Structure 1
Amino acid sequence: MSLKISVIGTGYLGATHAACMAELGFDVIGVDIDAAKVAALSRGNLPFHEPGLPELLRKHVDSGRLRFTTDYAEIADWADIHFIGVGTPQRADGHGADLRFVDSAVHELTSRIRGSALIVGKSTVPVGTARRLRGIIDTEAHSEANIALAWNPEFLREGFAVADTMRPDRLVIGAEGGTAEALLREVYAVALAAETPLIVTDFETAELVKVAANAFLATKISFINSFAEVTETIGGDITTLADALGHDIRIGRKFLNAGVGFGGGCLPKDIRALQARVSELGLSHTMGYLAEVDEINLRRRERVVRLANSMLSDKLVGARIAVLGVTFKPDSDDVRDSPALDIAVRLFNAGADVLVYDPKGNNNAAERFPRLHYANDLPEAVAQADLVLLLTEWAEFKALVPADLEDVVAERRIIDGRNVLARGQWEDAGWEIVGMGQHHPPLDGEL
């Protein structure tokens, strides 16, 4: 008999996991306390942008294999496996992770389960969380219940979430005892048959894998951006430098791209939560370098603002600036901690007339910062612009050539915040173009 699966939390992670589990052939119920979100998903409507996921959602809502509810009682003894995919945002009073939603999900399930079940955490949590939850389950479980616990971290990339769920580059299971491993091997049978690496380990290692991966990725991005600060000051080609480093098999070329820095709902909060957790463990010196990783990342945003001011001859106030892209990465509508949106807001606060265009992110950005002006398309955004900023490397922006803009802008100035344009082509067409890591006369306050 096929396993029945519930997924607690129907945000980016939960909705993706639920739809993909249905695609693998399981009967799935998604659970969320947000009745409006549940109603939308039940109609097959996805409240965020993720390529390929809307079609998967509608397919399995229509087939009846996937449905949604707000009622924990409906799934407590119905499902064999309960995946927890709720958010763990940064706490309002510090850098630590807010675990209220994870704790609530475990309490709600534990209080209702009467038979055998497996609870599987997928949310990104501080190390030690699963061990603590195991204690809660042992204390609160009904005498008739037999509840196993495992931690199975997600490694989704926005824009590739369906592929990353269906064909992951690795699977990690943190568990005690063989029951959890056996059930999860059944869940992931297709991926395992395709020889996806499987790491079975303890709770703590499974919890650390995700935050360690994000900390390493953030460090790599800030590493190349620290060298961009050097080449901006003294000269040198940051892209060639990155290419040369990338040929070293110990390093690799991926994510060695100088730019405006990282953002999104994972990297910034996860490296801060990791620092907070090791500090709680009395090991604050161990992850001290992450504070500098974070600081380098934030400096890139201010660098772009100061560069814009310099290119406008200190006449930022009243200047018309076109911002192309406000999501933290392409193929996503996610503007959480987006460096691009932060730069747009900083320019607006400095007195510039900022007009934003993003293929998918305008609505989410407008909810956060309604005072910015949002264009419906690229021509509207760049019309009569004194300066153009390319801040998210959407395909339509990467494909731009000077002729696309030169008859509509007021001045031929552009900042390539992602180093994706052919600089020589733009310079030959009479544009002043500056990329990240490119040598530039010292800005105010720089030596």
Structure 2
Amino acid sequence: MATELRVLRREEWDSWHDGILRAFGAVRDKERELDRELTETDRSLGAWDGDRVVGSAALLSFRMTVPGGALVPSAGLSMVHVAATHRRRGILRSMMRRQLDGIREAGVEPLSVLTASEPHIYGRFGYGMATRELHADVDTGRVTFAPAPGSERIRLRVADDPASVLDECEAVYARRVPERAGMLQRAPGWERRPLLDVPEKRNGATPLACVLAEDEHGEVRGYARYSLRNAWDENDVPRGSVLLRDLEALDTASYGALWEFLSGIDLMPVLRVRGRPVDDAWLHMTGDSVRLCRPRWRDGLFLRPVEVRAALAARTYSAPVDVVLEVEDAFCPWNEGRWRLSGDGTGATCERTDDAAELALSVRELGAVYLGGTALRTLASAGRVRELRKGALGAASHAFSTDVAPWLPHGF
């Protein structure tokens, strides 16, 4: 029977989701109902062989901060799989074709973003790595966090039920979103995602808890969600870990107080940090002990401009820029050709031009530099950007850069 690719029907959701779980080696759990609620069925595709799903791809409607602070509609590509029995039949390509064409036809989202379990797959569809994230295992037995100015005025309050303080935490998160490119405005339902705490996935850790940082007036200025994993060695020496889920704060005092708290919990000599910004300030609160934190980096958000003109005009630039880009985009050929980008810190325009190109790059490289997390000059050194007019590379690289590293706060 021929494989049929069609928009997901709501009554097919369970079979569709089961196919995704099979592909990723997962089992049904308490996340399922939230997944069902957040799925936009009219933007989700299923590839069916008879009554069995053999492929899937879903789009999610986000608004993402870009350099300059604007919230730009962005299509989040998620739940992508092709069954092992149906590889190399063009199913993935067909799904990507349908999704990107649909985004363009709707005319609302100039950007598409994703996180990737296998990043090498998506480069050929024009997605470039736009953000990275920091992971670390801090040896708090030997690393001391220096007190932040004003942290002594911060009151900490632990809530054993994070849901009971969700509104206070979301108010802090919402104020943080415009400050860093890559952050997502949480649409209804998405505020529950960071609270998911499936017992079967704890691996011996305690239930999720939340600590709030409050100022002298009782206003919540920050929060951290975490759990604890107890452990002892053969000599009864504690080897437990604090597992940090997420942390946001509105000021230095609250930020510092939260890190001091997390690093000082009794019997927990390791603070496990995952998915933080690469320029997270706590790295500079440990003196010369960064090597004892074992920092490492991994890829975060992948981004592709669906409409080059609208995407480049949606952000601001760190310095005045006036450059003609020769863009290659074989998968979305409407983006190919020469574009004049003119902008500064107040805004930008991007229009087609017949003027001579000054930089040549593919849409994948454009996606990688869009949020400011990768430098054009770095990609040029790797042979992925060509300077066609002397001096154009340095000026454009500076203009695309940002002083705050972009960061995706949670997956999707």
Q: Which has the higher helix share?
A: 1
Q: TM-score, normalising length from structure 2?
A: 0.27
Q: Which has the higher strand share?
A: 2
Greater relative contact order (CA < 8 Å, ≥ 6 in sequence): 2
